[in-house]
Structure 1
Amino acid sequence: MNAYAIAHLREFRPHPDVPRYIERIQATLAPYSGRFLVHGAQVEVLEGSWPGDVVVIGFPDLARARAWYASPAYQEVLPLRTRHITGDCVIVPGVPAGYDPAETAAKVREAMGHPEATDR
């Protein structure tokens, strides 16, 4: 199952380290089959607020996403970003093939103590 590293980059302070980070990150991703799906894109806010940019990196699985983030190669370049860009980063699993959101809805209803039938 795919996994994703998602960064919400909120506050950017221009510094020569930032382009250095951008130039070096791809080499840290390659050994883990990571690839940029979204990189520094301005978001179109539909609900709420979202100051800043978003980055999404796809991996074949959670193990490789975690291994990339913890790798010595990435940890070496990470401070080039974190010293100058404020943000959050998470790793999340994708949904499995054949995912049915109705099953999730049923689990939520059950957890709420309301296992009534769906509208389908």
Structure 2
Amino acid sequence: MSAYGFAHLRVRRPHADILEYLERIQDTLDPFHGRFVIHGPPAELVEGDWPGSMVLLEFPDLDTARAWYRSPAYQAIIRLRTDHIDGDLLLIEGVGPDYDPRVRAAKLRDRSAAG
């Protein structure tokens, strides 16, 4: 099942390190079959308040996403981003093609009734 690296980047400070990071990140993704799905902005805000921008990376599975993040190649460039951009990065497993939110609701309802 696909997995994703989701980054919410809030405060960006322009810096030459960011350009270097952007120039080097794809080489860290390629061995792990990672790819950019979203590399915002721009985004259309339709609800709430969203400071910053987002990045969404896709990987074949969660173990591969973890391996990319921990790889020496990515760890060698991570400070180029984190020193100049405040944000959060999550690794999360996606849902399959048969996912049904009604099933999740039923499980949550059952847990609520039992608790």
Q: For 1:108 and 1:75, how far apart are their aligned partners in 2?
A: 38
Question: Unaligned 5+ residue runs, structure 1?
Answer: 115-120
- Pair member with larger Rg: 1
Identity of aligned residues (%): 54
- Aligned position for 1:85: 85
TM-score of the superposed pair, with normalisation by structure 2 = 0.95
Structure 2 counterpart of 1:34, one-letter code: G
- Aligned position for 1:118: none
Give the 5 Å matches for 1:58-97. Answer: 58-97=58-97
1:18–1:80 CA contact under 8 A, matched in 2: yes
List structure 1 segments (4+ residues) > 4 angstroms apart after TM superposition: none
- Aligned position for 1:106: 106
User: How many equivalent residue pairs?
Assistant: 114
Structure 1 counterpart of 2:98, one-letter code: G
1:43–1:50 CA contact under 8 A, matched in 2: no
1:6–1:91 CA contact under 8 A, matched in 2: yes
Q: For 2:74 and 2:101, how far apart are their aligned partners in 1?
A: 35
Question: Unaligned 5+ residue runs, structure 2?
Answer: none
TM-score of the superposed pair, with normalisation by structure 1 = 0.91
Structure 2 counterpart of 1:112, one-letter code: S
Write out per-residue CA displacement over residues 77-102 of structure 1, whole angstroms, 9 at most, x where no aligned residue.
Answer: 00000000000000110002311111
- Aligned position for 2:54: 54
DSSP 3-state at the match of 1:8: strand
Q: CA deviation at 1:14?
A: 1.1
Q: For 1:41 and 1:89, how far apart are their aligned partners in 2?
A: 16
